[in-house]
């Protein structure tokens, strides 16, 4: 069994060129393993940093894209897919790499080994532009949320407040 090639910024750039996705991959001086580090590196607000998180539901991958300032609620995914909450599991780093080609913390919202079913939090579309994983721990891609939506064909839902909670938790 041969190990598949790990993907990186050059692969992402080729995907963007081939799919006519405007945007720029930024090579940074330091790694950006957290939302706060990424926001600081490009001098922006944490809500303009986009997280791409892989979940496994009944053994099948699902990508969730959200603003870095908020936590994706697995319950929101479960409600949307009409499955039990325990069936929605965060993918392990090894699964992320094998399914997408990218490492956790470097994963872009598209350009994976194959297209993934995708959910996008509605707050991403409220941003004028966003920064997402650029294929390496020290790379980010700067682009419009509309281009992410177009390329991923994501379903836009509320990934933060499952079922439209009446309680306001302060956005945390």
Instruction: Tell me, yes or no, whether 124 lies in a domain.
Output: yes
Instruction: Tell me, yes or no, whether 147 lies in a domain.
Output: yes
Q: What is the pLDDT of residue 169?
A: 38
**CATH value at residue 151:** 3.90.960.10
Question: Is the pLDDT score of 164 beyond 90?
Answer: no
Question: Is the pLDDT score of 161 beyond 70?
Answer: yes
Can you give the length of the chain in residues? 172
Burial class (CB in 10 A: 0-12, 13-18, 19+), 82: exposed
pLDDT digits (tens, 9 = 90+) for 4-40: 789 999 999 999 999 999 999 999 998 988 899 999 9
Q: What is the pLDDT of residue 168?
A: 37
**CA torsion through residues 162, 97, 41, 127, sign:** negative
* Strand 118-121 with 155-157, pairing: parallel
Residues paired with residue 142 on neighbouring β-strands, in sequence order? 24, 131
* Contact (CB, 8 A) for 64 and 119: yes
Instruction: Tell me, yes or no, whether 141 lies in a domain.
Output: yes
Q: What is the pLDDT of residue 3?
A: 60
Instruction: Tell me, yes or no, whether 61 lies in a domain.
Output: yes
Q: What angle do CA 99, 120, 23 make, to 5 degrees?
A: 80
pLDDT digits (tens, 9 = 90+) for 73-114: 999 999 999 999 999 999 999 999 999 999 998 999 999 999
Alpha-carbon distance of 46 to 9, in angstroms, equals: 22
Expressed as residue numbers, the domain containing 23 is 9-157
Alpha-carbon distance of 109 to 49, in angstroms, equals: 12
């Amino acid at each position: 069994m041969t190990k598949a090639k790990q993907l990186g910024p050059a692969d992402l750039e080729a995907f963007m060129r081939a799919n006519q996705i405007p945007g720029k991959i930024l090579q940074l001086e330091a790694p950006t393993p957290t939302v706060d580090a990424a926001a600081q590196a490009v001098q922006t607000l944490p809500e303009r940093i986009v997280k791409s998180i892989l979940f496994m539901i009944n053994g099948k991958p699902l990508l969730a894209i959200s603003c870095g300032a908020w936590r994706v609620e697995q319950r929101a995914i479960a409600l949307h897919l009409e499955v039990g909450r325990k069936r929605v599991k965060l993918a392990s780093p090894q699964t992320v790499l094998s399914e997408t080609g990218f490492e956790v913390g470097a994963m872009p919202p598209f350009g994976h080994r194959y297209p993934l079913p995708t959910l996008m939090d509605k707050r991403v579309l409220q941003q004028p532009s966003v920064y997402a994983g650029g294929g390496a721990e020290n790379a980010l891609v700067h682009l419009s949320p509309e281009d992410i939506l177009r390329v991923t064909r994501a379903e836009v839902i509320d990934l933060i407040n499952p079922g439209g909670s009446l309680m306001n938790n302060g956005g945390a």
